[in-house]
């Protein structure tokens, strides 16, 4: 595997603080607009306290050392106070007043899942890990990436989408990750097939999102629905094969020991 791919993943993870602080800044700006609007009817002192909380959370995120710590601070300290704000003032505000802020929060939810998926992939670059666990980590991380894109791709900015596209292409084009049934054991081959299929699914998701954003949204055609199902089947095939193998082993043991189900 190329060092460039590893460095790209590490660079994105090291950018966690900038992403979170940037989103908190946008949330702060949205709250300022909310508090200053004629419809808000929120006491100035409370408005100030909410904005001060944003600043405090931002500073704690800046001081945290690891991406997971930064994410935990965001969810444990910012989210509860914003939930309190919505519960307290939702009856006095128009239904779309919080939409901008909620879109930012969706992005943060997706980014949190992204940290987990890329973290799993990075485990594959550890020197002491054996090959089957290496390929398994890459495959599992890529499946995680595909699954989070299904829910959060709509909220991701274009520069992040391009970054993820390039990382996916790097895995897809890496000759050292090419499935070779003749020279690989069953587990290695299965994981690499799954990795390649899932990488193709991720690229299809990104392209489909770009296409939809450029034209009016319409109901998916029957062919698109079939294609989506086929991509899901291909992504999950290694896991399905593994499960089948495990069930076969259980059946052999059951018969040998005379167990009745």
**Residue-wise pLDDT tens for the chain (261 aa)?**
567 678 878 877 777 777 777 777 877 777 777 677 666 667 777 777 878 888 888 888 888 887 778 888 888 888 887 788 778 777 665 566 677 778 888 888 998 899 889 988 988 887 667 888 889 999 999 999 999 999 999 999 888 899 899 999 999 988 888 998 888 888 899 999 999 999 999 999 999 988 887 765 444 444 444 444 445 545 555 555 554 554 555 556 556 656 544
pLDDT for the residue 58: 86
Task: Give residues with Cβ within 8 angstroms of 179, minimum separation 6.
Answer: 189, 192, 193, 196
In this structure, what are the phi and psi dihedrals at residue 217, rounded to the nearest 5 degrees? -70, 135
Q: Where are the alpha helices (DSSP H) in the chain?
A: 3-14, 16-36, 44-63, 67-73, 79-89, 99-122, 131-152, 158-173, 186-213, 222-257
pLDDT for the residue 145: 95
Among candidate residues 163, 137, 133, 127, the one with its CA nearest the CA of residue 19? 163
pLDDT for the residue 226: 41
Task: Give residues with Cβ within 8 angstroms of 186, minimum separation 6.
Answer: none
Domain boundaries defined on the chain: 1-125, 127-261
Among candidate residues 158, 40, 148, the one with its CA nearest the CA of residue 98? 40
pLDDT for the residue 222: 40
Count of CB atoms within 10 A of residue 86's CB?
A: 13
CA distance 147 to 208: 15
Please give the radius of gyration of the chain, using alpha carbons only, rounded to the nearest integer: 23
Q: Is 241 exposed, middle or buried (0-12, 13-18, 19+ CB in 10 A)?
A: middle
Find out whether 167 and 222 touch, Cβ atoms under 8 Å: no
CA distance 14 to 180: 34
């Amino acid at each position: 595997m190329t060092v460039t791919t590893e460095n790209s993943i590490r660079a994105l993870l090291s950018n966690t603080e900038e992403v979170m602080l940037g989103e908190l800044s946008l949330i702060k700006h949205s709250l300022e607009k909310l508090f200053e609007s004629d419809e808000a009817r929120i006491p100035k002192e409370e408005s100030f306290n909410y904005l001060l909380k944003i600043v405090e959370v931002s500073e704690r995120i800046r001081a945290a050392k690891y991406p997971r710590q930064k994410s935990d601070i965001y969810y444990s300290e910012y989210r509860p106070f914003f939930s309190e704000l919505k519960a307290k003032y939702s009856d006095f505000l128009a239904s779309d007043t919080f939409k901008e802020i909620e879109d930012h929060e969706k992005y943060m939810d997706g980014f949190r899942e992204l940290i987990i998926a890329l973290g799993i992939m990075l485990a594959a670059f550890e020197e002491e890990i054996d090959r089957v666990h290496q390929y398994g980590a890459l495959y599992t991380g890529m499946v995680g990436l595909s699954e989070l894109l299904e829910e959060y791709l709509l909220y991701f900015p274009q520069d992040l989408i391009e970054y993820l596209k390039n990382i996916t292409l790097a895995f897809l084009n890496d000759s050292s990750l090419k499935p070779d049934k003749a020279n690989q054991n069953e587990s290695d081959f299965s994981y690499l097939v799954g990795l390649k299929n899932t990488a193709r699914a991720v690229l299809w998701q990104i392209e489909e999102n770009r296409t939809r954003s450029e034209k009016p949204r319409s109901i998916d055609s029957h062919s698109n629905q079939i294609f989506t199902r086929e991509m899901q089947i291909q992504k999950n095939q290694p896991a399905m094969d593994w499960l089948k193998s495990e069930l076969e082993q259980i059946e052999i043991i059951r018969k040998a020991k005379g167990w009745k189900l």
